[in-house]
Amino acid sequence: MTSTTVRRLVGAAMLALVVVLAPMPAGAADDVSWSIRPQDPADAVIAVRAEPAARVEYGLVVVNEGDGPLELEVTTSDTRVDADGALEVTDTRTAAGAWVSVPSTGISIEAGEQRTIPVVVVVPPEAAPGEYVAAVVTAAPAAPGVVAVERRLALRVLVTVAEPGSGSAVPLVAGAGLVVGLVLAAVLVGRTIRSRGRSGVLDETGTIPHGEPM
């Protein structure tokens, strides 16, 4: 895969989202803070290459940067682009998001500590060669009460399905020419995480057709 191909593949590595559901008093937004990244600090996204029916495991590192214990929900999801070319992480798991799983949907991390969460990608036997994009989403649930604030961070999962018989079932490393961009702001549209940056060349299922002209 060339760096030009990956530039077209990836519009954003990580999405940051704060959803305010009610008026929030000053200082409340600082109670929860965390970051996420691939287990290899040199990588910006989780990227794997595998044949149909293959299984690949990678790690997502979650760091509690706040002053107190952190409770997070961890899920996987599909991605898509809208008519305006904006990148979306949806709440559905019917496309590439269904290939990705995490062993636990809830984690607890003490202040200043970090945890590595296994991220498992299982490529369906019928998957066609090409590039597919999903996401791992971490969310701090809104606390009960008058003030309701929900925050989410999502990291891209790039899956390159290789031709059968190629013997590929490995994570891709930064040295493979991975080029990504960082989305600094996102808003909630309905129940969809929608970024304000341009995305890669994806179709409505979050797939980049194999062999697409540059």
Residue 108 sits in a domain whose CATH number is 2.60.40.3170
In a domain, 187, yes or no: yes
In a domain, 165, yes or no: yes
In a domain, 28, yes or no: no
Domain count across the chain: 1
End-to-end CA distance of the chain: 12
In a domain, 119, yes or no: yes
Q: Which domain holds residue 41?
A: 3-22+33-209
Query: 160 and 18 in contact (C-beta within 8 Å)?
Result: no
Give the pTM: 0.67
In a domain, 214, yes or no: no
Amino acid at residue number 59: G
What are the tokens at 136?
């791992």
Question: What does each of the 214 residues of the chain score in pLDDT, given as a tens digit?
Answer: 443 333 333 444 455 444 433 344 444 445 678 999 999 888 888 999 999 999 999 999 999 999 999 999 999 999 887 777 766 788 889 999 999 999 888 999 999 999 999 999 999 999 999 999 999 999 987 766 645 566 888 998 999 999 887 665 555 433 333 333 233 233 333 333 343 333 333 344 444 333 333 2
In a domain, 27, yes or no: no
In a domain, 166, yes or no: yes
In a domain, 54, yes or no: yes
